[in-house]
Each structure stands twice: as C-alpha cells, then as structure tokens.
C-alpha cells in the first residue's frame, strides 16, 4: 500500500484569499502589512480572487469601537479613512419598541462611571435606585448623553479618567467604499488581485488539502493556505471541506432582510437606531452622503412584499433605489478552520447585524489566524484552538443577541410571542438568572460584550435584580449619592461644551459629495 504523503514542512509560500468585499480585503490588508516588503526568498505571496459577478449590499455598515484598533494597526490615516468611506461617528445603538411598544433605551459605548471599591459604578447605582430617588442609569453614560444631545468630539486627556474620556466610539461607513480603500492599501503592499469566477477546486488525494482553484478562463491559482471569504456560499469551507453548520434559527428565527439607502436628513445622528417591528426589526445607519436602512425579519410571520412596504414607508429620506433582498440562516460552521482552509466573514457563519458584530468577527478571525499562523502542514492543533476560540465568541455574541428577543414583554404579534416563550441556550439562561437573583453579570467570553453592555440590555429591557451584592451596603448612602450627583453634573456640563456631531464632521473630516448608489 502506498504511504500517504504528508504536506511539506516550511513556511507558507502562497496564501489564496477566495472572495473580495469587506471580509476579503479586511483579511488581505493586515496580511500584506505582515508579510509584504521582505526579500524574495522569504516572501509569502498573497493572492486575492474576486468575481465581478458577485455584488455586495453596500447600504451602510455599523461597527464596534474595536474597529479603531484594526485601523490603527494598519497605520491608516484617521481623517483620510473617514473621508474615503463617507463615515460618521457612532456612540452606540438606540433601541425602540423592543421591550414593549413605546420602550426606548440606549446601548452606549463605555462605562457608567469609575469603579468604587472594586465594584462597578452601575452596581452601586442599582443599590441607590432600589432605595429611590435616582435618575436613569443612562445619565451616567457619557456616550449616551452625547448621543441624545447629538454631540461628538473624540475622547480627550486619557491619562486621567474624566467625563471627557469615559466613552468610546466606532464608525458608520459605506462598506463598499471601505473594501475599496483597503484594496488599494493591500495592493500597494504586494497583494495580487485576480478577477475571475472559480469553476473548479483541486484537492490533494489522501488528506483533502486544497491545492488550487481554477478560474473560468482556465487560469489555475495554487496555494498552501486558502482563506474562504466567499460569503454565505462557503465555496471552500462547505463546498469542498463540508465542514457542516450549526443552525441557530430556533433561537434567532429571522431569516430574511431587505436593504435600501435613502437621502441623508438632518440632524446627522452619532448612533445607530434599531426599531422593533411586528416580525423583526429595522436598522438606520447615518452616513455623510446617505442613510443606510434595512428590515430584518422572519419570513414565516410576514411576506416579502409586506416587509418591503414596512421598510419603505418608514424611511426618513427619499429612497435611492428599490430594496435588495437577502436570505440567510443564522448559525456558524462546525469547523471554521478545516485542513488548510480558514473561513472568514459570512463564510464562517452569520449572526444578524443587531449589535454590529459582523466586522468584529472578521477582525477577530483575521487576528486569531495571524496569532496561530501555520506552516505548510497546517497543524490540526492550531485549527482546533482557532475553532475553539471562534466558537466561544460566536456563542457569546449569539446569546447577547438572543437576549434582545427573549426579554420582550411584547405580545402584539405571533413573532414576539414566540420569542418571549422560546427556549434559550443554557449559557444565556444562567446569565439571566444570575443577574435576576444577584445583580451580577457573568462574562463567558472576554472577547465579546463586557458588563456595561449586558447591563444596558438587562435594564433597558426591564429586567431588575431581586437582590444585590451585600458588600455594596458598606458605603455610606449619602456620600454615594453626592458622588453620583457630582458625576452626573460633570458629564452634563462636559457634553454641553461639545460641538454638534454634524458640525464636527463638517469642520474636520467632511467627505466629498458622491453620486447616489446605483
């Protein structure tokens, strides 16, 4: 019997990225920075293959504050990036009608004040709230107060904690323009862009490693490591590796979306808006040149025509085209790294964009790949560790999103009654019950949402703890109230001195006008 040939040891000689778009070029850019500019003998080529036949839904993308670390790691010019992508600033997400009709709350970026005796400030606020006479916890979130007053300026004076730096921010930008911006960055650093449609994939007998992809015009592109950024199709990770898929639609039943941009309206708000509808929810993402809108819904409870009408009738600006339809299945691949194929972006899984986590998962997927960078053998233990960490993050984000639906008190539609009554993952059930019984928040994944985010959701959706940490009572009540009042006044005065969000953009990072989307 012929002995199976093992892959050669040694560094990767060529990495092939299958698919462009946001995921492909966000993968290519840091790899180009890491691997480019070396002498020819040691160089690892990076080739990206994208098809002109596959478009994107570029109607605006919302992000989390960590996008700034990604941009900084590439040494991007901050102002140039904002102008080139028509970006605006994001301080958090405003939620409307989620807990019940008429409900409104804000998930802001940042803490609710400094910790007090090793307990978070919001824990002490819960104690005072229980005793009576306290304003909403949102008054102690600088980001939330800024958002509600439509103010923005970057944090200042980070050496000493103050109301002027107790917040974080992210961006809204045009995802298509961002991909193009990163494409220019990557190509300038040596990434080879090949345009064409893949019609065949070659695998090595015995171990099933992918060895090459063949394009429609006959070109054959060989590689040692293949990164699948082909979107929902999962051309390599599913089409070749058959990695399998964890279907989470029983917890997250929305399976469809329609998206359309509309004309920009004033004021230019520094936050995303998520409005619950009868069978899903609607997003609003303000950019410099337009506003991105979309309706995420469950097709089992509303027809596509009805969903389209809900979307179009609730736009606050003139529509720029007709809605574009998307279908999806919420979940993740059972293996995101399989053999010498790593899936990034939608090819690895999909969680609806309720908390703007799509780009976060791309960033972390690329970052972990670099951290666990393989040689040509693509050791299975590296893949196992990568899959473990990605699965942990996916599950944590999944639970955070499920929380939005599960804690609803809405009973005005069959969809919301299903969400209210559905079984949930054991991990989320533990987190809910821990908070309900003790006011404490369990963080099961340090790379996912932190305590302030969970607190914003718990309290915003109307979940209040039955008991609190008994050590909170050690601090004198009146002294604590005075502390909180001083902090609230400092935040209010600091925010009042800030410029309007639109005015800040106009004076510092205004982009050039562009034509409406095709």
Residue 67: closest CA among 175, 193, 163: 175
DSSP-derived secondary structure for 204-233: -TTT--EEEEEETTS-EEE-SEEEE--GGG
> Closest by alpha carbon to 343, among 420, 236, 452?
236
Q: Closest Cα partner for 313 from 299, 303, 323, 298?
A: 323
Element (H, E) at 496: helix 477-496
Q: Please identify which of the residues 3, 90, 329, 515 carries the catalytic annotation.
A: 90
Handedness of CA 171, 173, 179, 185 (dihedral sign): negative
List, as one string, the DSSP characters of 142-194.
HHHHHHHTTB------TTS--TTTS---EEEE-HHHHHHHHHHHHHHTTPEEE
> How many Å apart are CA 406 and CA 421, to the nearest integer?
7
Residues, the chain = 518
How many Å apart are CA 152 and CA 172, to the nearest integer? Answer: 14
Closest CA to 94 of 149, 47, 160: 149
**Cβ neighbourhood burial of 357 (10 Å; 0-12, 13-18, 19+):** buried
d(CA 62, CA 81): 15
Question: 3-state secondary structure string, 427-493?
Answer: HHHHHHHHHHHHCCCCCCCCCCCCHHHHHHHHHHCCCCCCCCCHHHHHCCHHHHHHHHHHHHHHHHH
3-state secondary structure of 374: coil
Is 90 catalytic? The answer is yes
C-alpha dihedral, 171 to 175 to 180 to 181, nearest 10°: 0
Give the C-alpha separation, 228 to 50, whole Å.
11
Nearest-angstrom CA–CA distance, 109 and 105: 13
**How far, in Å, CA of 176 to CA of 55, rounded?**
10
Q: Which residues are catalytic?
A: 90
């Amino acid at each position: 019997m012929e002995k199976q040939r093992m892959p050669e040891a040694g560094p990767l000689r060529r990495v092939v990225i299958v698919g462009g778009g946001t995921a492909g070029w966000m993968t290519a850019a840091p790899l180009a920075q890491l691997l480019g500019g070396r002498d020819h003998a040691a160089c690892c080529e990076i080739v990206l293959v994208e098809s002109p036949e596959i478009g994107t839904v570029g109607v605006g993308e919302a992000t989390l504050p960590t996008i700034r670390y990604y941009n900084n790691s590439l040494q991007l010019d901050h102002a140039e990036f904002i102008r080139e992508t028509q970006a605006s600033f994001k301080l958090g997400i405003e939620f409307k009608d989620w807990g019940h009709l008429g409900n409104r709350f804000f998930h802001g970026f940042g803490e609710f004040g400094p910790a007090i005796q090793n307990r978070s400030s919001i824990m002490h606020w819960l104690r005072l709230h229980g005793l009576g006479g306290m304003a909403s916890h949102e008054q102690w979130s600088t980001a939330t107060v800024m958002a509600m007053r439509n103010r923005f300026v970057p944090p200042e004076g980070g050496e000493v904690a103050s109301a002027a730096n107790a917040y974080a921010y992210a961006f809204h930008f045009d995802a298509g323009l961002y991909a193009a911006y990163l494409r220019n960055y990557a190509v300038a650093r040596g990434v080879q862009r090949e345009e064409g449609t893949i019609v065949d994939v070659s695998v090595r007998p015995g171990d099933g490693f992918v060895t090459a992809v063949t394009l429609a015009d006959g070109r054959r592109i060989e590689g040692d490591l293949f990164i699948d950024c082909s979107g929902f199709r999962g051309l390599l990770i599913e089409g070749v590796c058959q990695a399998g898929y964890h279907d989470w639609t029983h917890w997250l039943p929305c399976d469809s979306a329609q998206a359309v941009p509309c004309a920009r309206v004033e004021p230019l708000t520094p936050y995303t808006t998520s409005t619950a509808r009868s069978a899903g929810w609607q997003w609003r993402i303000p950019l410099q040149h337009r506003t991105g809108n979309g309706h995420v819904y469950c097709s089992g409870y509303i027809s596509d025509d009805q969903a389209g009408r809900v979307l179009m009738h609730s736009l606050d600006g003139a529509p720029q085209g007709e809605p574009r339809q998307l279908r999806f299945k919420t979940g993740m691949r059972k293996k995101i790294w399989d053999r010498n194929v790593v899936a990034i972006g939608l090819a690895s899984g999909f969680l609806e964009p309720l908390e703007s986590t799509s780009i976060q998962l791309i960033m972390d997927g690329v970052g972990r790949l670099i951290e666990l960078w393989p040689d040509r053998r693509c050791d299975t233990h590296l893949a196992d560790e990568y899959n473990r960490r990605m699965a942990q993050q996916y599950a944590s984000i999944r639970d955070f999103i499920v929380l939005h639906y599960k804690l609803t008190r809405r009973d005005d539609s069959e969809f919301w009654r299903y969400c209210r009554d559905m079984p949930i993952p054991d991990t989320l059930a533990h987190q809910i019950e821990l908070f309900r019984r003790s006011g404490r928040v369990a963080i099961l994944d340090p790379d996912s949402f932190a305590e302030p985010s969970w607190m914003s959701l718990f309290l915003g959706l109307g979940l209040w703890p039955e008991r609190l940490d008994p050590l909170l009572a050690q601090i004198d009540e009146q002294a604590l109230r005075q502390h909180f009042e001083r902090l609230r006044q400092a935040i209010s005065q600091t925010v009042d001195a800030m410029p309007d969000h639109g005015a800040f953009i106009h004076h510092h990072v205004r982009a050039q006008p562009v034509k409406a989307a095709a």
